[in-house]
Amino acid sequence: MIFDSVKTEADLGKLKKRMFKDESLKKKMIGIRDGMRFRPNLASLQASNKIPLPNNAELFVLYKEMVESGEQKKILDVEKLLRKIKTKSNSGVAVVSLLTKPFPCPGRCTYCPTESNMPKSYLSKEPAAARALLNDFDPYRQINMRLKALEFNGHPTDKVEMIVIGGTWSFYHSVYQEEFMAECFRACNNYGRSKEEQIAKGEKTLDELQAINETAKNRIVGLSIETRPDYINLREIEKLRRLGVTKVEIGVQHLDNDILELTKRDMTTEESAVATEILRDNGFKVVYHMMPNLPGSNTQKDIDMFGELFAGKKYQPDMLKIYPCMVLEGSELYEEWRGGKFKAYTDKELLDVLIGAKKQVPPYVRILRVIRDIPATYIKEGSKISNLRQHLDLDMEKNGWQCKCIRCREVRDSDLDLKDFELKKIEYDTENGKEVFLSFEHISTGKLASFLRLRLPSKKAENNQLSVLRGATLVRELHTYGRMAVLSQKGEQSQHLGFGKRLLLEAEKISKGGGYGKVAVISGVGVRGYYRQRGYELKDTYMVKSLI
């Protein structure tokens, strides 16, 4: 068993050097490289006997093949060493981003670039966009390619968080929406199956594909779309739930209506606040896209904006994506910049804004991004620092402050004793109810292992709600962090210490004590089985449990 002696990176290096002394392993590695297409001109390399050492991704595929054949026993420490980008599954799920077709956009925002073969605001050399273009925007092919890449790099893919990006989803034709989502579920249902077992396109309805996904090997446990706040209403909520959507990303951009008008956003902050409450009253997780550095703003105004997000009942998003404004060719802003009417922040000014923003983000919010992954060649003016998070981490270390957001506190691949976690509760009010953030946090470090978002709606919320939710509390999110636990395995990872179950029981206790007759969960399709085991039933796309 060749991997038994591997415990450190140095051991891994020694293993790679001695691998080609074993002809059978050498032959396997050449076959793996052929299949993965990681190395060009393998035939000539073999002929000259100058075959390069395997990289970790190639070695991981070899390891998996040997485990499956019985030649090698399973060793979790080896898997941790070989896993290429640990953060891809440290948050408990495999994230798959895919783009919709380049349909027209109803907006006319001055900062958005327009590229002929891309959805508005997206650029063909961005990673997810390049993958979409390569696959002709076919959702099935995009997902297949992404799952293969994640597996090759050592990440479990049985719990998938699907993120659909590319313009304003709510503006697309309903037929395209349904076909797109059906292909998402079909791709996950078929992944890893033999050709004989696979479901053909159009063979099953969306509802049937979702039912199959409940027990599939690769389950969609969360599904998000991007849209404009002014498209959110109860009819849209019904459509999103039927499609399986659990999280909605809305382009708020700024909280100053004058700035929104100047940039031709064609909406107001009041519409963002209303959309947020409608989404929350129906259990959705809400992500705000925020854009510091817009025309008409300044550094202090932007810092104050992030404070305003969490200062009262009006906004209170669950997650943030921060996209500092950049001057990109193909946008109206580019012409304004060329005419000397706009100047972007310096790197120092932008870092000051992001530091000011992070310091104000409460512990129940997750910052998903602090900059958009746009290749520097596109940026005419604006920050080209792609690793802004590292700069922020350095500032924390240097100046002795700590971001409290969920992402900065996840346990990830931690050596912490997971028995040293305690239950904590944070409450805050919004316009139509109370939010209760329950979490298990490490006693001394504050690291976060698991959390649950519970909404206690007021009577006022019923005007916004689907009928199935009236009289219910809403579990909007239940998430456990740490290295992803494969569905068929048990172990000492944080996802298998019962944190989720304990949080759910606490949520039910709070609900019953508050006089509510039932709990409704906006469950991802692939997690319905988890809630069924705990007494919940599927009703109108939600998992519901009576407390009476």
Amino acid at 143: I
Domains of the chain listed by start with CATH number: 9-82 (no CATH), 86-227 (no CATH), 254-366+375-401 (3.30.750), 421-546 (3.40.630.30)
Residue 44: CB partners within 8 Å, gap ≥ 6?
A: none
Which residue in the block uniquely carries the two structure tokens 């085991």? Answer: 533
Per-residue confidence of the chain (548 residues) as pLDDT tens digits? 788 877 777 777 777 777 767 777 777 776 666 555 444 444 444 444 556 677 776 777 777 778 877 888 888 777 777 765 454 444 568 899 999 999 988 999 999 998 988 998 899 988 889 889 999 999 999 999 999 888 877 778 999 999 999 889 999 999 999 999 999 999 999 999 999 999 999 999 999 999 999 999 999 999 999 999 999 999 999 999 999 999 999 999 999 999 999 999 999 999 999 999 999 999 999 999 999 999 999 999 999 999 999 999 999 999 999 999 999 999 999 999 999 999 999 999 999 999 999 999 999 999 999 998 888 889 999 999 888 888 999 999 999 999 999 999 998 765 667 778 999 999 999 999 999 999 999 999 999 999 999 999 999 999 999 999 999 999 999 998 865 344 455 444 444 468 999 999 999 999 999 999 999 999 999 999 999 999 999 999 999 999 99
Enclosing H/E stretch for 399: helix 388-399
> For 492-518, what is the HEC assignment?
CCHHHCCHHHHHHHHHHHHHHHCCCCE
User: Residue 520 and residue 544: Cα distance in Å, rounded?
Assistant: 4
Whole-number pLDDT of residue 173: 95
Cross-strand bridge partners of residue 474? 455, 520
* Predicted local distance difference test score (pLDDT) of residue 70: 81
The predicted pLDDT at position 61 comes to 74
pLDDT at 494: 45
The sign of the CA dihedral 106, 109, 111, 116 is: positive
Distance in angstroms (rounded) separating the CA atoms of residues 373 and 130: 12
What is the per-residue pLDDT for 20?
67
The pLDDT value given to residue 386 = 80
In this structure, what DSSP letter does residue 370 have? S
What's the predicted TM-score (pTM) here?
Answer: 0.85
pLDDT of residue 328: 95
Nearest to 350 by CA among 373, 386, 326, 324: 324
Q: Which residues contact 122 (CB under 8 A, 6 or more apart)?
A: 99, 115, 129, 165, 166, 167
Cα 403 to Cα 355: distance, rounded to the nearest angstrom: 9
Beta pairing partners, 162: 96, 223
d(CA 236, CA 243) in angstroms, rounded, equals 11
Which residues on neighbouring strands pair with residue 344, listed in sequence order?
A: none
Q: Are strands 247-253 and 219-227 parallel, antiparallel or unpaired?
A: parallel
Q: What are residue 207's phi and psi, to 5 degrees?
A: -60, -40
Question: Burial letters for 169-178: b for 16+ Cβ neighbours within 10 Å, e otherwise?
Answer: bbebeeeebe
Q: Percentages helix, strand, coil for the chain, rounded to the nearest 5?
A: 40, 20, 40
Which residues are CB-contacts of 80 (< 8 A; sequence separation ≥ 6)? Answer: 86, 413, 483
- Give pLDDT, residue 167: 82
DSSP state letter for 410: B
